Amino acid sequence: MTTIKDVAKLAGVSPSTASRALHNSSLINSATRQKVLDAVEALDYTPNFAAQNLASKRVNTIGVILPVMKSESDEDLFYMQIMQGIVRMCNAHGYTVSLATGKTTDEVIHNVESLSRRGQLKRFIFVYSKKEDPVLEYLKKQAQVKYVVVGAAPDCHDQDLYSVDNDNVAVGQEATEFLLEKGYQNICYVYTDLNNHVQAKRYRGYQKAMKENDLPAMSLKMQVTDHDLNVRLFNHFMQKNPDCHGFVIVNDLIGIRMQQVFDILSLNEKQYGLITFDNTVLAELARPTLTSVELFPHFLGTESAALAMSLDQKESEQSYQMQRNIIVPHRIMERLSTPEYQSEK
């Protein structure tokens, strides 16, 4: 089994530096982080996978809660990778993973409730995070139940929440800085739903980068499905902001939607810079291919599983000191959608 020491050795850094790079400590410069992430990929390393002695004599089960199903979304791709990480980690430590989902919030709550009653399940992982989620509110009220939320670093919720997340403020900030370095100045943040914690935090990161460069922030809300409306929204935005050529876009799917709008309006794509998030298979399939921020969803899964399993242990038993809020790394994958800025003649 690959350990953090192997990763450190290949990257030519100390094990503690490698570990800090993985948890995205701001003490580590980006070149070092890149070397460590390259080594992680080359060795197929999974953090915490074997580090813990979590197996117990009890039959243990972790409940995984999927969001209310939507049909038109690429989020499924991301959730599937998180879940594979969770299942792999849990299986390796003798834990069973049980799933709950539904077509409505009530159906999800009903299913979580019966899972908890039947299986006496007390440990859950939410693979999603949103404001005022009734499912989470329901679980909060249950005695002895503990849960880990993927995608919700603590400032959104209570301080004592267990969470696993990317540093989404840094993610938004770095994506914006990437466009600034390419020469773009008028940059817009494109989103679909600011009630989603992840989208809201990336927006904060974008605002931070713009402010530090004395540039005005602007935002554009787009639709996942309504194509004609997107064209109108974009036209309306461009009339007000004709100089805007850079776009920080909340996920790969909306990035492709933007490219489709450019197509319909016969805009020259080479004059625009688009950077998106999630680095799903869509980023490679877009035309031009999308520069996108890789978020290591498999690690989001393995780390949330490790955290959920550690909640079963008494503190004295813990062979590995768990943090309450775990941060997973990210990195920008440069592709063709971010050419150097060229001012119009």
Q: How many residues would you count in the chain?
A: 345
The correct pick among 74, 269, 294, 334 for binding its own copies (CB under 8 A) is 74
Q: Per-residue contact track with its own copies, 257 to 276, x per CB under 8 A?
A: --xx--x-------------
From the list 182, 187, 191, the residue with the least C-alpha distance to 244 is 187
Is 76 near its own copies (CB under 8 A)?
yes
Burial of 2 (0-12, 13-18, 19+ CB in 10 A): middle
* Sheet strands (E) in the chain: 60-65, 95-100, 123-126, 146-150, 162-166, 187-191, 218-221, 246-249, 273-278, 291-294, 325-328, 331-333
Q: How far is the CB of 284 from its own copies (least distance, A)?
A: 8
Contact of 295 with 278, CB cutoff 8 Å:
yes
Is 84 near its own copies (CB under 8 A)?
yes
Tokens 């460590």 found at:
36
For the chain, the maximum distance between any two Cα atoms, rounded to a whole number of angstroms, is: 72
Is 34 near its own copies (CB under 8 A)?
no
Residue type, 220: L
Q: How far is the CB of 96 from its own copies (least distance, A)?
A: 5
Is 105 near its own copies (CB under 8 A)?
no
Is 115 near its own copies (CB under 8 A)?
yes
From the list 109, 131, 28, the residue with the least C-alpha distance to 63 is 109
Q: How far is the CB of 281 from its own copies (least distance, A)?
A: 6
Coil, helix or strand for 164? strand
Whole-Å CA distances, 75 to 148, 159, 281: 19, 27, 11
Contact of 170 with 148, CB cutoff 8 Å:
no
Is 294 near its own copies (CB under 8 A)?
no
Number of residues that bind its own copies (CB under 8 A): 45
The correct pick among 24, 81, 199, 230 for binding its own copies (CB under 8 A) is 81
Q: How far is the CB of 124 from its own copies (least distance, A)?
A: 13
Comparison of 149 and 254: residue with beta carbon closer to its own copies:
254
Q: State how far the Cα of 68 lies from the Cα of 84, in Å rounded to an integer.
A: 19
Comparison of 80 and 244: residue with beta carbon closer to its own copies:
80
Is 119 near its own copies (CB under 8 A)?
yes
Comparison of 109 and 327: residue with beta carbon closer to its own copies:
109
Is 158 near its own copies (CB under 8 A)?
no
Q: Which residues bind its own copies (CB under 8 A)?
A: 44, 59, 61, 66, 69, 72-74, 76-77, 79-81, 83-84, 87-88, 91-92, 94, 96-103, 107, 110-111, 114-115, 118-119, 253, 256, 259-260, 263, 281-282, 284-285, 287
